[in-house]
Structure 1
Amino acid sequence: MKKTSIIGLIIIAISIGVIISIYADTSTYGNFSEAQEKQSELVVVSHLNKRKKFTYDPHKDANYFAFYAIDNKGKECQVIFNGTKPQDFEKSEQLVITGKMSGENFYASRILMKCPSKYNKDQVEIKANGSSAVKSGI
């Protein structure tokens, strides 16, 4: 075999190895119960339990944020995030949390917030010449 053919095969083998390692590292979705069973990193779709207070005191520890979330199956769990509280966290409709379960707590490494839209698609108020009308379906 020529040297160029051998080098080409080595480059192809390395490329395949890189692609496999990238896809093997992808996280899977689940809930808090599955996270407790698997004890591995999992992505949990949940929503914030607004009835319970969250813990964040930047003067005491700016990298400690704890709150309660409820997954899609209805199980509630305390989530601990070693980072600052995201801006407008209370306004989020849905949370996508990546992390691991340890004991009874879920330790998050990433938090993605799904916030409500600023605009209401169903009704927009239009004012013309001092009068107002509501136009639906925009």
Structure 2
Amino acid sequence: MTERRPLAEMPLRVRYHECDGQGIVFNAHYLAYADMAAFEVERALFGSHDALLATGVDVVVAESNLRYFAPCRFDDELVVSVYLVHLGTTSMQFELEIRRGDTVTTEIRLRYVWVDTENYLKAEPPPEVRAAYAKYLPEAA
């Protein structure tokens, strides 16, 4: 089996205001962490979000799924890793893993749809955009 290569890994320290009355990260913040990490992917592949937009496409979230295994708390040092697991004609799928040290606290699956930046209708990404992502597809086992 081939080891997955992350598109990006983003360090993150939990801020006090992200925690709820139980002292753990409020569940909605995990999607914000995923969104921040997705922008880090664009920075790694294209230099910036604006550089991706200049190609004529953007991505929108079409589906999200989160699984929580261990709570995160104020001042925890986390790492959000982003993996590409599917690259379709007009969509792609990321798996994100949030770790505190060696402990996986959260797994997130996001499906993005490519859209044209002028009308925000579903569109195929240009070949150079597709190629930038395709390098990170897991190889067949």
* Same-fold call, TM cutoff 0.5: no
Task: For CA contacts below 8 A with separation 6 or more, give which structure has more relative contact order.
Answer: 2
Name the structure with the higher strand share.
1
Query: Normalised by the shorter chain, which TM-score bucket?
Result: under 0.3
Instruction: Give the TM-score of the pair, scaled to structure 1.
Output: 0.24
